[in-house]
Structure 1
Amino acid sequence: MAEVHVRELKGPEEMEAVVELQREVWGRAESDLVPRGLLIAVQDEGGLVAGAFVEGRMVGFVFGFPTQDPTLQHSHMLGVLEPYRGTGAALLLKRFQRDWCLARGIQRVVWTFDPLRGPNANFNLRKLGATARTYLPDHYGPMTGINAGAPSDRLLAEWDLLAERVYARIYAPPPDPEVAGLPQANRVEGEEPLEAYLDLEAPRLLFQIPEDWGRILREDPALALAWREHSRLVLGHYFARGYRAVDFARNPNRYVLAKD
């Protein structure tokens, strides 16, 4: 695979390419796309729109905008075309975003992600060093494309750009979390969430999610809704008790929750 280069985007043609990437990455309806004009306007007012390129082709992008807090950016979208996932393009986009923000006095970045998509949770928590402590039920309302089929619950990722943990993880492969012996806040059999354990007191807990949430969304609406309700119950409960998601383990997919 050829080398990936990241840079800020400029001009209507490159912004239109971002709109097309949104269609390809998420399969969104036109009403769910961030249009070219808005991308340009947000960039004019201090937002970030950057692209990842391979041999001159844009294969991914990141889009973030300013907030009421001048030290905080909201990162609304990060997308990479499927053939280029695993090339490091997403990580390079986030490194670029971190450097760009720090150069402008921005010290924290937040974004939302689906709590049941294991690859996203793994990337955000384990590879980037973000954490999450806020559960947002049906945050965007009904969605289209790959996100259709269940309420749009989201976690709010918090990325402390000055944290040693963040720097270490984005520039070196992070170790697998130590999870042996940790109590688990739910019981899963096959693909079904069967029980929630809401009385655990350990400083670190596990919460298991599906192995292939995308397939469940496409093929089993009843199971998708059951998982949404289950994650809303368990994660919402433990976040309210002072836990936050701090890491992610694979095989099976499990959040590591730690008490502040």
Structure 2
Amino acid sequence: MSLIRELKDHSEIQQIQELQAQVWGRSELDIVPQGLTVAFIYQGGLVAAAYEGPEMIGFVMGIPTADPRKQHSHMLGVLPEYRGSDVAVQLKRFQRDWCLSRGIDTVVWSYDPLRSVNANFNVRKLGAVVREYHPNLYGQMSGVNAGVDSDRVIAEWNLLDPQVYQRIYAPPVTPDIQHLPCINMGLDNQLNLQDPTLLYQLPEDFGALLKDDLEAAKQVRAAGREALTHYLRQGYTITDFVRQQGNFYLLTREKPRP
């Protein structure tokens, strides 16, 4: 298990800038600067890092919001060679404990809804749910996100929900989804489904598609925007992610249709 601790010293915080470049391949314009990171801490935010021996291998950054019981988790990054380990989950556990000890019971953050690795981590492993879709939230970005609109969904992490505690310590068995209707077949969406639970299939590897075929990635982005925006507005919530002969979101209708 890695050592995780909160950062205060500016010399340690400087390493966060270096990690951002290594994790996302960002240009200097997209990296959160050291001074702003210090300001987050000064205003009651969280900046914590994971260490393997003396080496910083990951970090999490959370900032206050207008709601004193809610934190915005602005960034979480782990060095490429540690992806697939439990370092990211350890960082989120640390963040959960840190927040609860300060009366914060909800954490929110944005992520690209088409990246299955992020979907699996945020929804399946952490137990976050999704109710909001924001087209091109950050405008055009650099590094691994360059080339397509920066569409993002908002993960809502209810720290007091028993499901969240279960997911971060003992994930449940994968549900059988073969009988559920699927919203999309390739780029074609069905926008008239009304079943209590629906599937949406994500690309096998959106990052690879973006790198190898930009026009195809743009088409997949547009199709995903249409389908997910529609069903979230109809009262569906993304409640799970399943890898079962493909990558699928489970969308559950939580409130009556208008």
The bucket for the TM-score relative to the shorter chain is over 0.9
Please state how far the C-alpha of 1:55 moved relative to its aligned partner.
1.3
Percent identity of equivalent pairs: 53
1:205 to 179, 192, 198: 198
Aligned position for 1:85:
83
Where does residue 157 of structure 1 map in the other structure?
A: 155
Indicate whether 1:218 and 2:211 are aligned: yes
- Offset at 1:219? 1.4
Residue 228 of structure 1 aligns to which amino acid in structure 2?
A: R
Deviation at 1:13, TM superposition (A): 1.2
Tell me, yes or no, if the aligned pair for 1:118 and 1:211 is still in contact at 8 Å. yes
Where do 5+ consecutive residues of structure 2 fail to align? Answer: none
Aligned partner of 2:247 among 236, 247, 253: 253
Mapped partners of 2:38, 2:173: distance in 1:
39
RMSD: 0.8
Distance in 2, Cα, partners of 1:61 & 1:136: 25
CA–CA distance in structure 1, aligned partners of residues 43 and 175 of structure 2? 40
1:54 aligns with 2:52: yes
Inter-partner Cα distance in structure 2 for 1:170 and 1:197: 33
Paired with 2:98 and 2:194, the residues of 1 have a C-alpha distance of 40
Tell me how far apart the structure 2 counterparts of residues 145 and 160 of structure 1 sit (CA, whole Å).
31
Q: Kindly provide the CA deviation profile for residues 192-246 of structure 1, in whole angstroms up to 9, marking residues without a partner as x.
A: x2x1000101000000011111111111111111011101000000000000100
| Partner AA of 1:221 in structure 2 | L
- How far apart in 1 are the matches of 2:175 and 2:119? 14
Listed as ranges, the matches of 1:13-24 within 5 Å are 13-24=11-22
For residue 169 of structure 1, the aligned residue among 167, 170, 173 is 167
1:12 maps to 10
Deviation at 1:177, TM superposition (A): 2.6
> Following TM superposition, where does structure 1 have runs of at least 4 consecutive aligned residues deviating by more than 6 angstroms?
none
Give the superposition deviation at 1:9.
1.1
TM-score after normalising by structure 1: 0.96
- 8 A Cα contact 1:52 1:58, kept in partner: yes
Tell me the distance in 2 between the aligned counterparts of 1:153 and 1:110.
16
Please list every run of 5 or more consecutive structure 1 residues that lacks an aligned counterpart in the other structure. Answer: none
